[in-house]
Structure 1
């Protein structure tokens, strides 16, 4: 019984991984999705003081897998910033992939409305 349960859990994990790997980000599609990001992540040196002081990172040039992983961690509650948890909770896996692709196609100095 334990062996069957272990196999079932492993199969479910692999299925989830395979599904996540098939999602391709689309930077163009993200242009309509990043408005909520720009207010904080487009301001060099920006800090947020709620609920504690956070230095807000610039996202341009960040790797797409890192951005997706960070958004998923906020959505799962593994990262604690309340605003980011709420935003990530509203995003689908496709939204996350699109946003990640959008920001990875930029440099930190790229204007927010211009792709490479």
Structure 2
């Protein structure tokens, strides 16, 4: 009985922590214009059609142009926290602030097939 009580309290605490993180991430208002100057590392892999990164394992690199801004910021946060495991993405995300992630998300969300900058996304 005591074990179940402790587990339920831990679950409640974890839920509250996740709500706080989500609220914090939602507070950041991104700017596609500001993001344009922050995606120089992203373009090296994410703009190559059918690119596969091969360190330490083979990963198919997704095209992220047009993706939802909040999803991109959330994914970068997960890499920064180590919840997602790709080593290159983790090291890049570790150098980004919450504002940087929001800006990058807005930049990629604004991309279309006809976007003059990084048209391949």
TM-score tier by shorter-chain length is 0.7 to 0.9
Give the equivalent residue in structure 2 for 1:83.
88
Gaps of 5+ in 2: 1-5
Quote the offset at 1:86 in angstroms: 0.2
Quote the offset at 1:18 in angstroms: 3.3
Note if 1:97 corresponds to 2:102.
Answer: yes
Counterparts of 1:27-106 in structure 2, within 5 Å, are: 27-106=32-111
* Cα distance, 1:40–1:12 mapped onto 2, change above 3 Å: closer
Quote the offset at 1:69 in angstroms: 1.2
Give the equivalent residue in structure 1 for 2:3.
none
TM-score norm. by structure 2 comes to: 0.77
